Structure 1
């Protein structure tokens, strides 16, 4: 029997992907230090909201450093960076997030291992790596997570691919899905209705990270291979909301 923190659904529901979440708008200004990025991109959901006068965009700001413990060359960003080497960096070895939620990637063009970066300081690679089973001392690209909304995040997880099998709704943080009543240590597919979540391979928010957002793929992740270019297994054992 499922724990009361879950809302059980015996059959997969019929739904229309929800696209009206509380999207966090981007301040599209250029970097404060250094030269501007040559390639920038705005979420396709951001422009209609700006045009309709739905309010001022919140500020996203992150500072990256070439050396550990906030040493060496540094640069501030308020928008995405698809390749830090275009800015004259060899690698990113420490990060200070001043506002907004971000996701870092092992390789350029947002490929490879993913690392959620919430407000705070990350003096060394293992501060954001989620205790991976192998060292990943490289971060080459990063972007804001526009839709992160800790107070209004909601998703469905399904036992099998294509939203089939047993399912439950999640709207909180779950350090162990199995302890809360989930049937096994794997998830077949997911639908993010609002906000953004980070899913972890192991209990206690450890292992590989997979960032799930309502504004990417319309919130639909039909197969575990949609979770990221680094994903090699459907194993998910802990999930939490991303802090903005």
Structure 2
């Protein structure tokens, strides 16, 4: 897929790059709201959801969001497809505050650092054990 950020045109080149603000990867929490300005039904989550409707969210839209901790990527469609929106810690009273043109948002996942991913791979666990073993 093309990298286009918030620009209105497609490009095969990355236009900008910056670090993501993630204070605590092990304690990610986000609250979704049914209406703008944090009104209506709400749902707190701490895990990845490939389909918000499958977990009980009745709408294809998420008009406002509070990111309590961690960083997340919201996706326009189920299965982590479509437009992507970076959600860092903060309050988003309206969908345009997180860069969306429409409140459609149907899947979400946490951003984890590479150390977390590397430590969960079987080969890396074996390498760690071998490197921690005392020499003969």
The aligned counterpart of 2:97 is: 226
Partner Cα distance (2:10, 2:82) in 1? 11
Partner of 1:162: 37
Give the equivalent residue in structure 2 for 1:106. Answer: 4
Cα-to-partner distance string for 1:7-50 (whole Å, 9 max, x where unaligned)? xxxxxxxxxxxxxxxxxxxxxxxxxxxxxxxxxxxxxxxxxxxx
Please state whether the residue corresponding to 2:96 is helix, strand or coil.
helix
Distance 2:97 2:11 in 1: 21
Structure 1 or 2: larger strand share? 1
Q: Normalising by structure 1, what TM-score?
A: 0.43
Structure 1: state its 5+ residue gaps.
Answer: 1-92, 94-104, 114-133
Structure 2: how far apart are the matches of 1:243 and 1:148?
11
1:185/1:136 Cα in 2 relative to 1: closer, same or farther (>3 Å)?
farther
* TM-score for both structures, normalised by structure 2: 0.75
> Which of the numbers 183, 198, 218 marks the counterpart of 2:58?
183
Q: In the alignment, is the contact (CA less than 8 A) between 2:4 and 2:10 conserved in 1?
A: no
The answer to whether residue 67 in structure 2 is matched with residue 192 in structure 1 is: yes
Which segments of 5 or more consecutive residues in structure 2 lack a partner in the other structure?
A: 114-136
- Give the Å deviation of 1:151: 1.6
What is the aligned partner in structure 2 of residue 61 from structure 1?
none
Please give the residue correspondences for 1:85-124 in structure 2 after superposition, counting only pairs within 5 Å: 106=4, 111-112=6-7
Does residue 142 of the first structure (1) align with residue 11 of the second (2)?
no
Q: Answer yes or no: is the 8 Å Cα contact 2:31–2:45 preserved in 1.
A: yes
SS of residue paired to 1:177: coil
Change in Cα spacing, 1:148 to 1:239, as seen in structure 2 (3 Å) is farther
Q: Hey, which of these two has a bigger chunk of helix by percent?
A: 2
